Amino acid sequence: MWITESTTNALTPTAVALGNFDGLHRGHQQVIQPVVSFGREQGEENNFTHHSTVVTFNPHPQEFFSGQSRKLLTPLPEKAEQLDRWGIEQLVLLPFNRELAALSPEDFVEQILVQQLQAKTISIGQDFRFGKQRSGTAKDLQAIAARFGIPVAILPNYNCEGERISSSAIRQALTEGNVKRAELLLARPYTLQGKVVKGQQLGRTIGFPTANIELPENKFLPRLGVYAVRVLIEGDRLDSSNENIIANWELRIATGVMNLGYRPTVNGIGLTVEVHLFDWSGDLYGKAIAVQLEEFIRPEKKFASLDELKAQIAADSAKARNLLSPDTTHEKVD
């Protein structure tokens, strides 16, 4: 998939899905799918390509206006990987700056969508806002684009079990440790992706070696505690020039138990993500792994001794095995 921060480097003409799309949840998929279908249909009928394109903003507008960094459900590497899986050809990251923020709704459509991206169709959610002071509505975009002969599909809010699906609802579920609710809204498990790095290696001294994962700094983290997890493990080591991109996954899936927290029992310094894999052997250092959160087991707790900690990890592991056993398909790798 082609990724660019400059509209002058974009592949044109385009079929555009426009929005912030943090999380890429079920509702986002409804907005994005029409441009994938449009590109394919036009290519088959006219032997001419309209590049299926997601247009979003970097940084997030809220981060720009507040001046505070915003944790993301899907940092760029994850977003790119998921969009590619959905069939998107191109991701355009519009630099959200004072110049862009000052554009009127009419100028945004004419300059960005018409002139620079040569949009032939546009898809948005009904709550989409754009232009100076967010003055443009979805209906406004539809009316302005119509002047240029560009159809705009406005997708209604997507509901699940009576609740509107939103990034905020997913964040709330994760904050509560309700990963099953988050999975329902996302249509996939919430995943922590990163590179395995060396830690203090205390786990192996008590019989539970762990893989320490280095996550993107802007990754939104769920409730601190212990989780039953499934783990996808990359086949080849990361290219050092592109170490944040997860790629070339092999079909190697393990199960395990993850601790997200500050390790108070051993006076840990800083937040860590540690995963103990069941029935696993092999060197994971430098590899990229994706940890899918399946169940929240318990909050983090400080124990009186290492023996108590060891006993609790054993109990956590037994519970995680039981939770994951009905449909576990991991294999042992020597």
pLDDT at 242 over 60: no
In a domain, 333, yes or no: no
% of the chain with per-residue pLDDT over 90? 68
pLDDT score of 105: 98
- Whether 175 is in a domain gets the answer no
Residue 284 domain-assigned (yes or no): yes
Judgement on whether residues 280 and 202 belong to the same structural domain of the protein? yes
List the structure tokens of 253. 């899936």
Q: What is the pLDDT of residues 69-110, one digit of tens each?
A: 999 999 999 999 999 999 999 999 999 999 999 999 999 999
Last residue of a domain, which of 119, 144, 160?
160
Domain CATH number, residue 297: 2.40.30.30
- Residue 246: the pLDDT is 43
DSSP 4-57: ES-GGGS-SSEEEEES--SS--HHHHHHHHHHHHHHHHHHHHHS---EEEEEEE
Judge whether 83 lies within some domain: yes
Domain match, 156 and 235 both = no
Where is pLDDT greater, at 176 or 309? 176
- Write down the pTM of the prediction: 0.86
Are residue 23 and residue 146 in the same domain, yes or no? yes
Plot region of 24 (φ>0 → left; ψ -120 to 50 → alpha; else → beta): left
Domain match, 236 and 306 both: yes
**Same-domain status, 112 and 211:** no
pLDDT at 324: 93
* pLDDT tens per residue across span 296-323: 999 998 887 888 888 999 999 999 999 9
In this structure, the answer to whether residues 306 and 230 fall within a common structural domain is yes
Query: What is the pLDDT at residue 306?
Result: 83
- Predicted confidence at residue 302, as pLDDT, reads 84
Q: Answer whether residue 165 is part of any domain.
A: no
Residues 156 and 195 in one domain: no
- 272 domain-assigned: yes
Number of folded domains in the chain? Answer: 2
Q: Name the region of 178 (left: φ>0; alpha: ψ -120 to 50; beta: rest).
A: beta
Please indicate, yes or no, if residue 87 is contained in any of the structural domains.
yes
Last residue of a domain, which of 113, 139, 160? 160
Question: Residue 72's beta-bridge partner residues?
Answer: 219
The residue range of the domain holding 110 is 7-160
CA distance 222 to 303: 22
Is residue 42 domain-shared with residue 152, that is, in the same domain? yes
pLDDT of residue 198: 82
One domain, residues 203 and 128: no
pLDDT, tens digit (0-9, with 9 covering 90-100), for 177-227: 999 999 999 999 999 999 999 876 665 555 688 899 999 999 999 999 999
State whether 16 and 156 are in the same domain. yes
Q: pLDDT higher for 264 or 152?
A: 152
Residue 168, domain member (yes or no)? no
CATH number at residue 54: 3.40.50.620
Of 116, 141, 160, which one is at a domain's C-terminal end? 160
Q: Is the peptide bond before 75 cis (omega within 30 degrees of 0)?
A: no
- At residue 55, the pLDDT reads 98
Q: What is the CA radius of gyration of the chain?
A: 22
Give dist(CA 184, CA 254) in Å, integer.
Answer: 22
Query: Do 57 and 140 sit in the same domain of this protein?
Result: yes
- In terms of domains, do 129 and 233 share one? no
Strand order in the sheet with 51-58: 2-4, 90-95, 51-58, 14-18, 119-125, 152-155
